[in-house]
Amino acid sequence: MSYAERYRNLRVQVVIIGLLVILGYLVLRGTDAPVAQREVQGTVTEIHTGQAESPRGGSIQMTTARIRIDAETETLLLVPPQTQLNVGDTVALVEERNASGERRYRFAPGIPGY
C-alpha cells in the first residue's frame, strides 16, 4: 500500500469516527430534551452577590437567588443583571421535566433581563 493510499484511508477513518461521535452526542442529547413544561411560582429565600476583578480591568458582579418552589423543592438561579430581587419576592419560573424525570428551572419570560 502506497503512502497516498494510507493517507486517504486514514482521512476516511477520521471522518467516520467524527461522524460517529457527532451521532452519539445527538442521540444522548435527545434523551435529555424536555418532555413537559409548566409555569410555577416560587419565593426568593436567599440572594447572594459575588464580585470578581476582570482581567481587562474593572469588576464583574454576579447575583444568584435561592428560590423555594414548594415545601420540598428549591433551586438556585443566576439573576440577570437588570433584575432587582428581594428576599420574599414571588417570581414566575418555567419548570421543564426530561424523560428521566429530572426537573430544571429558569425564570419565566417577562422579568427584566429576559
Structure confidence by residue, pLDDT tens digits, 21-71: 998 887 776 666 667 889 999 999 999 998 888 778 888 888 999 999 998
E-strand ranges in the chain read: 34-53, 59-68, 74-79, 90-98, 103-107
- The domain segmentation of the chain, as residue ranges, is 1-31, 35-107
Residue 78 · residue 104 · CB < 8 Å: no
Residue 52 has what pLDDT? 83
- Residue 32's pLDDT is 65
Name the average pLDDT for the chain. Answer: 86
Task: Check: pTM over 0.95? Answer yes or no.
Answer: no
Answer for the pair 76, 64: CB distance below 8 angstroms, yes or no.
yes
In the prediction, which pLDDT does 87 show?
Answer: 94
CA separation for the pair 48, 64 (Å, rounded): 5
Class of the domain covering 35-107: mainly beta
pLDDT at 111 over 70: no
pLDDT of the residue at 19 = 93
| Alpha-carbon span 46 to 18, nearest angstrom | 45
pLDDT at 102: 85
- Separation in Å, CA 51 to CA 3, 7, 10, 78, 81: 57, 52, 49, 14, 13
